Amino acid sequence: MLNDFSTEYSERSDDELLLLASDRASLTTEAAAALDAELRRRNLTESDQVKHQQFVKRNEQREAKKRRRKIFGTRRDRGAWLDLLWAILAMALISFIYLVLPNRFHMKPDWQEAAVHVMFASVFVAVVSRPWWRKIGFWMSLLLSSAIHIFVVHAWIQRVGNLSRGQGKLAILLGLVLFFAVYGFVWLLRRNFYGIAARDHT
């Protein structure tokens, strides 16, 4: 029996022997003796067994992470879904404000048309500017540029009547330009203000 185990173990790889050694409790006395003899013959020590156990544990953890990623997705995937959710909420909120308020306050059709163009521009800005949402300067700039935008578009509508499709696209583009102009102006003001404050404290 011992010779049978010795022959079998001599044909196995080092990794297989070290794996068996980590589960020594399940072996019979003869199998354990043959395993010890083969380990000594190959100069595989207890430190090799410990290293192999650590290696196996790392592999198991890696496989567990892969399984979780297949089920729940990676952190980047979850972040992308969260960004999409916030974008949808932002679009819904902005759309609600621009579509409901004109009717709520019985605004004239020209103001309602201007509000629609401003809504499209604001939604686009909010979606593409997701990394800036935590900055108060972003929301101040969006609010200020939207206010300027709606008055400019309203004046345009009063001058030429209902806007054509091409003019509507230009009106939306105007909103984007106004936002980035206002945001850049606010950024410069904050930079100059904090720069002066820092110099005053030095």
Higher pLDDT among residues 181 and 84, named by residue: 181
Query: Half-sphere exposure (CA, 13 Å, Cβ side) for 105?
Result: 9
User: Structure tokens of 130?
Assistant: 């997701």
Q: CA 87, CA 70: separation in Å to the nearest integer?
A: 25
Quote the percentage of the chain above a pLDDT of 90. 10
State residue 91's pLDDT score: 63
Q: CA 10, CA 35: separation in Å to the nearest integer?
A: 9
Note the pLDDT tens digit of each residue in 159-193: 888 888 889 899 989 999 999 999 998 888 878 87
Q: CA 141, CA 175: separation in Å to the nearest integer?
A: 11
Q: How does the average pLDDT of the chain come out, rounded?
A: 77
Contact 156, 171 (CB under 8 A): yes
State residue 201's pLDDT score: 47
Note the pLDDT tens digit of each residue in 19-29: 878 777 777 88
Tell me the pLDDT band of 202, cut-offs 50, 70 and 90.
Answer: very low
Is the per-residue pLDDT at 140 higher than 60? yes
Q: Is 63 exposed, middle or buried (0-12, 13-18, 19+ CB in 10 A)?
A: exposed
Model pTM above 0.85? no
Amino acid at 139: W
Note the pLDDT tens digit of each residue in 5-55: 778 878 888 888 778 787 777 778 888 888 788 788 888 878 877 887 888
